[in-house]
Homo-oligomer: A and B are copies of this chain.
């Protein structure tokens, strides 16, 4: 089923901005699709951190309307054997390297088609596929070029393992899957898995599940259901990550599984 194109294109990279790499992508897009409106998602993903990119992307890819095009260039394997991909997922277009960066989109979307991008022989650098492959493909998708014109369908895009929370009676065992800018420790335990009044334990500290940050005193540890409907551990007006010394992967226990 064809998807209406949009002129809105987002960029997610680990380029920073000072070297002019991100701007080069914008120029290429503007050359092919002059009416494109380019939204920076981020250029500050830690260098080569595919997990961080996958997390960020999961936060906005489907808050955009159908037809939007999302470019992801966190690509430590650029120039090597990894495949360049384009996707349609629930009506949004995505383009980027086949290194797991689309893992969460693939898990969340109902309808997905994936193709390996045909790479032109000429004028493609071995170090900057963002400019030479992904940006041109994104611009063409925003103009309505069907996915099937961009490459050949595949069914085995790279996915990394997403840790799954487990249940043991009234106790849930999960893990921190992301630490955000505020030092909030976001877990893989979904809202539907926990009951009101549950307690969350991490790094030897236990705190109650509250409705929102301001239900705790300043500096106090608490748990809330965050914006992605996942349990997160936070400190009001502070950093739970700093207080607890916890990082991505830290074990989390919830006493109070939903029945």
Interface residues, chain A, with chain B CB atoms under 8 Å away: 6, 8, 10, 12, 15-24, 26-28, 30-31, 34, 37-48, 52, 55-65, 68, 76-81, 125-128, 131-132, 178, 180-182, 211-215, 224-227, 229, 237
Contact = CB atoms under 8 A, between A and B. Distances in A.
Contacts of A47: 181-182
A15 B40 CA distance: 14
Given A56-B18, A127-B227, A227-B127, A39 B42 contact: no
Contacts of A178: 19
Contacts of A16: 42, 44, 181
B20 A211 contact: no
Given A20-B42, A21-B59, A44-B18, A237 B76 contact: yes
A211 B41 contact: no
Contact of A128 (B52, B79, B226): B226
Contacts of A48: 237
A181 to B, nearest CB: 4
11 contacts: A8-B30, A10-B26, A17-B43, A19-B181, A20-B55, A20-B59, A27-B63, A30-B65, A34-B65, A78-B213, A125-B225
Contacts of A18: 42, 44-46, 52, 56, 181
Given A21-B181, A27-B62, 14 more contacts: A17-B41, A17-B44, A19-B180, A20-B60, A21-B227, A23-B59, A24-B59, A24-B63, A31-B64, A37-B38, A47-B181, A79-B213, A127-B226, A128-B227
A126 B20 contact: no
Nearest to A130: B227
A79 B42 contact: no
Given A30-B68, A78-B212, A58 B20 contact: yes
A213 B24 contact: no
Nearest to A63: B27
A118 to B, nearest CB: 19
Given A43-B17, A181-B47, A78 B23 contact: no
Contacts of A28: 63
B30 A77 contact: no
A227 B182 CA distance: 32
Contacts of A237: 48, 76
A209 to B, nearest CB: 12
